[in-house]
Amino acid sequence: MKTDLTRRHLLGGAAALGLAGLPGRARAAGPLTVGFIYVGPKDDYGYNQAHAVAAKALKGLPGLEVIEEERVPETNAVEKTMESMINLDGAALLFPTSFGYFSPFVVAEAKKNPKVQFRHCGGLWTDKDPKNAGSYFGYIAQGQYLNGIVAGHTSKSKKIGFVAAKPIPQVLNNVNAFLLGAQSVDPSITCQVIFTGEWSLAVKEAEATNALIDGGADVITCHVDSPKVTVETAARRGAFVCGYHVDQSPLAPKTYLTGAEWDWLPIYKSFVADVQAGRVPPNFLRGGLADGFVKMSPYGPAVSDGARRNADAVKTEMMKGGFEIIKGPLKDNTGKEVLAAGKGLPEKAIELESTNYLVAGVKGAV
Amino acid sequence: MVAETAPSVVTAAATRAAPAIRALAWLARRAEAVAIPLGAVLVGLALFGLFLLTLGKSPAALVDLVWRGGFGSAFAWQNSLQRAAPLLFAGLCVALPARLGLVVIGGEGAIVLGGLAAAVVAPPLSGLPAPLVVAAMALAALLAGAAWIGAVGALKAYRGVDATIASLLMSSIAIALANHLIEGPLRDPASLNKPSTLPVGEANMLGAMPGIGVHWGLSAGLLACLAAWLLVERTTLGFSARIAGGNVRAAQIQGLPVRRLIVGFTALGGACAALAGFFEVVAVQGNANATLAAGYGFTGILVAFLARHNPLAIPPVALALGGLEASSGLIQRRMQLPDATILVLEGLLFLCLLIGETAYGRFKIFSPHLWASRKASAT
């Protein structure tokens, strides 16, 4: 009786050991596994889709396995997602794409897993952070400036509108660029901005879009995680619309003018190539139109020839690098001087990381 | 009718069979509380299996992944336990007021305000020893949560405002208020693109529990559940609350302080929820920011209903849901199913349980008082 029990226990133990050995996939050997983590759905017509499109394009590459997880909140859940990708799927390169993932979660996981490379979208990495972590981001305000030029040519009411998530530097740069682009066409143009307070809040985005159009704005753009609601609402009201994050022209085929899009594929390809070749990918990578990190949607049917020529000419300038969107003399919308005459901020200027003003002509408060 | 035929026989039989029947009856009454939720969960799982089949996915593969992602390894357990921790507090915020018949669904607001209150008191106290600072943070969180959900109770007790609606609306107000403060007056100027309050300081952070790798919120949550159970089941206060929850008029006639009970239990629930926010700040984030509203408060509603508002049933239910959520990533990655899959499962389970609520008392096997009448009418 006693031996029987012992044998059964032994057998059970052996079975458990066998089971424990089964699921793990071989790490390092074989293809490189790359993990993408998104804060929202992959098909949001916005921020997350921009990344997911690039991830999908990577899937065809040889020697590469791509795993993805969507709707991962910016809590310790993302730590577990990263650990799960590393421990269960053998991921050696991770792209946690949402801004709020970085501190403390990406930093903590990078310290815990020194052999895994972490590259976070948002540009937060500094020298003090682990060397197996890093950041990448794009100068997308360039795209909003070009949006503004086309909007400036198209607007009849000389009022344009911006649906914004939160008054943080990146969003403020986009609002400023949109209006400054439009004012480069006609200095009398003004831009009303409405902050919804959340990155994704469909009801408020629809309300804001309607309020902007009711207030006379006839070209709308936005900076929220998913521009879908804003673009569709504007299209339904017959207003023109400039896109953001990805090409939203299918949502507003008649009134979509153009849009500021991310193109993450070149960045991801270069990171993957680095890791596959045994190199450490760059810790800090930024680029704009010139580097192919940012691109423009094809012009819609409502865009005039003059608008196209103007926007294309400025785009050519931007491709050379160093284009100054924020250029003195410039005042903010409370009358305070931002830049004196003769000064300007090119896209790489560090001052743009801490923008806390809206330029003159923007109606709204930070 | 029973009495007419043969009163003495029945009484004699009942007396003889008394110990066995009483034991069976005791078991049957307890079994009902287990069998009905279990049955509802099984029906929910079956419906979900059908849903998966229509998508062309294998339910067996999903079960396997839920097991592996949620419970199959030490890592999976850690993952599940970590996700369960805030749900313990959030579940109590629903379960405690439920004893008085109130459905409070706005725990999310108390979590957010609790976290914010905790984060706000830390920086001014930065010179003091860490245990003092942490205690002050916990106290601030408790007070904030108790005040917020207690106000919902007060609105119900003194103005007759529906607690469900009031708590939900007040939760929206709490989140908006917290966001406003975090992005405005309380913002750390260094938090450029992720508005946050000033950091509470490395020294004041609670690390993980040794050996488990899960933060202290888990053990605190378990203690809170135990304390809540003792309060509800083993004290006169808890007994009074249950009476008032069963029949307000009867409780008032008995002279029970119904209004004060309502305010007290809602405040206690709010204080529990606030602790989830406190641990989010002191063990996870290190400051208060918009991610305090991570949805724990809403999952907590599901936890409490699954646990039938029994504080001792909250930990296993929270663990089960934590395990489900822990495995959702693996399900996404291995089965190419969207994240919403687990939400569909949770929704189906919730629906089946609510329908299951109507089944109580309908099964003769669980109702000892019906056995006797059946036997009696047979004779």
- The pLDDT tens digits for A11-68 are 444 344 334 333 334 344 579 999 999 999 999 999 999 999 999 999 989 999 999 9
pLDDT digits (tens, 9 = 90+) for A294-342: 999 999 999 999 999 999 999 999 999 999 999 989 999 999 999 999 9
pLDDT computed for residue B365 by the predictor: 80
Do B330 and B343 fall within a single domain?
no
How far off is chain B from A300, nearest CA to CA, in Å? 32
**Partner-chain contact B68 A23, CB within 8 Å:** yes
Using a CB-CB cut-off of 8 Å, the residues of chain A touching B332 are 68-70
Would you say residue A245 has pLDDT above 70? Answer: yes
Dihedral of CA B179/B184/B185/B188: which sign? positive
The answer on B28 and B95 residing in a single domain is no
CATH classification of the domain holding B195: 1.10.3470
Scanning the structure block, which residue is given the tokens 């410039």?
A: A330
Say yes or no for a CB contact (<8 Å) between A168 and B195: yes
Rg (CA), chain B: 24
- Cβ(A143)–Cβ(A261) below 8 Å: yes
Closest residue in chain B to residue A100, using alpha carbons only: B194
CB pairs under 8 A between A and B: 86
pLDDT at A29 (0 to 100) = 52
Cβ pair B280:A80 closer than 8 A = no
What integer pLDDT is reported at residue A223 of this predicted model?
97
Q: Would an 8 Å CB–CB cutoff place A18 in contact with chain B?
A: no
Q: Domain check: are B235 and B257 in the same one?
A: yes
What are the structure tokens assigned to B85, written together? 């921790």
Model ipTM value: 0.83
Same domain, B238 and B332: yes
Domains annotated on chain A, with CATH: 32-138 (3.40.50.2300), 141-262+295-363 (3.40.50.2300)
Residues B237 and B316 in one domain: yes
Please list the residues that pair with A359 across neighbouring strands.
A332
Per-residue three-class SS string for B272-285: HHHHHHHHHHHHHH
pLDDT given at position A42:
92
Which among B166, B165, B196 has a CA at the least distance from the CA of B178? B196
Which of A37, A59, A71, A353 has the highest number of chain B CBs within 10 A, making it the mutation to test binding with B? Answer: A71
DSSP secondary structure letters along B179-220:
HHHHHTTTB-TT--SS-BBPP--GGG---BPTTT-SBTHHHH
Min Cα separation A211/chain B (Å): 20
Question: Are A136 and A285 a contacting pair, CB within 8 Å?
Answer: yes
Question: What pLDDT does B18 receive?
Answer: 74
The confidence score (pLDDT) of residue B373 equals: 59
Give domain status of residue B73, yes or no.
Answer: no
Of A20, A75, A87, nearest to B284 by CB-CB distance is A75
Structure tokens at B78: 């850690």
Q: Identify whether residues B229 and B349 lie together within a single domain.
A: no
User: Is the CB of residue A76 less than 8 Å away from at least one CB of chain B?
Assistant: yes
The domain tally of chain B equals 2
Indicate whether B118 and B252 sit together in one domain: yes
**Domain assignment of residue B39, yes or no:** yes
Do residue B348 and residue B314 come from a single domain? no
CB atoms within 10 A of CB B233: 14
* Nearest CA-CA distance, residue A244 and chain B, Å: 18
Question: For residues A224 and A205, is the Cβ–Cβ distance under 8 A?
Answer: yes
Number of other residues whose CB lies within 10 A of the CB of residue A125: 25
Question: Could you tell me the sign of the dihedral formed by the alpha carbons of A345, A350, A353, A355, in that order?
Answer: negative
- Return the amino acid letter for B4: E
Q: What pLDDT, on a 0 to 100 scale, did the predictor assign at position B137?
A: 97
Residues of chain A found within 8 Å of residue B78, distances taken between Cβ atoms? 80
Q: Are residues B10 and B122 in the same domain?
A: no
Query: Which residues, in sequence order, are CB contacts of B2 under 8 Å at separation 6+?
Result: B10, B373, B376, B377
Q: How many CB atoms lie within 10 A of CB A348?
A: 12
Please report whether residue B77 resides in a domain: no
Task: Assess if residue B169 is contained within a domain.
Answer: yes
Per-residue pLDDT tens digits for A129-140: 999 999 999 999
Residues B204 and A91: their CA atoms lie apart, in Å, by: 33
Specify whether B221 is located in the same domain as B171.
Answer: yes
| Partner B contacted by A167 (CB < 8 A) | yes
Residues B131 and B248 in one domain: yes
User: Is residue B71 situated within a structural domain?
Assistant: no
Q: Is residue B183 one of the residues assigned to a domain?
A: yes
B340 to chain A: closest CA residue: A71
- Measured between CA atoms, how close is B185 to chain A, in angstroms? 13
Which 3-state string (H, E, C) describes chain A? CHHHHHHHHHHHHHHHHHHHHCCCCCCCCCCEEEEEECCCCCCCCCHHHHHHHHHHHHCCCCCEEEEEECCCCCCHHHHHHHHHHHHHHCCCEEEECCHHHHHHHHHHHHHHCCCCEEEEECCCCCCCCCCCEEEEEECCHHHHHHHHHHHHHHCCCCEEEEEECCCCHHHHHHHHHHHHHHHCCCCCCEEEEEECCCCCCHHHHHHHHHHHHHCCCCEEEEECCCCHHHHHHHHHCCCEEEEEECCCHHHCCCCEEEEEEECCHHHHHHHHHHHHCCCCCCCEEEECCCCCCEEECCCCCCCCHHHHHHHHHHHHHHHCCCCEEEECCEEECCCCEEECCCCEEECCCHHHHHCCCCECCEECCC
- pLDDT means per 10 residues, chain B with 379 residues, are 44 61 82 85 92 92 91 93 97 96 96 98 93 97 98 96 97 95 92 90 91 93 97 94 90 92 97 98 95 94 91 95 91 87 87 87 79 55
For residue A106, give Cα distances in angstroms to A96, A99, A249, B217.
8, 10, 34, 22
Of residues B239, B296, B241, the one with CA closest to residue B268:
B241
Residue B175 belongs to a domain: yes
Asked whether residue B328 falls in the same domain as residue B343, the answer is no
Q: Which domain holds residue B151?
A: 87-336
Question: How many angstroms separate the CA atoms of A180 and A178, rounded?
Answer: 6
Q: Is residue B41 part of a domain?
A: yes
A73: nearest CB among B78, B286, B294: B294
Question: Which residues on A lie below 8 Å from B193 (Cβ)?
Answer: 99, 122, 124, 168-170
Q: With a threshold of 0.95, does the pTM exceed it?
A: no
CA-based nearest distance A301→chain B, Å:
35
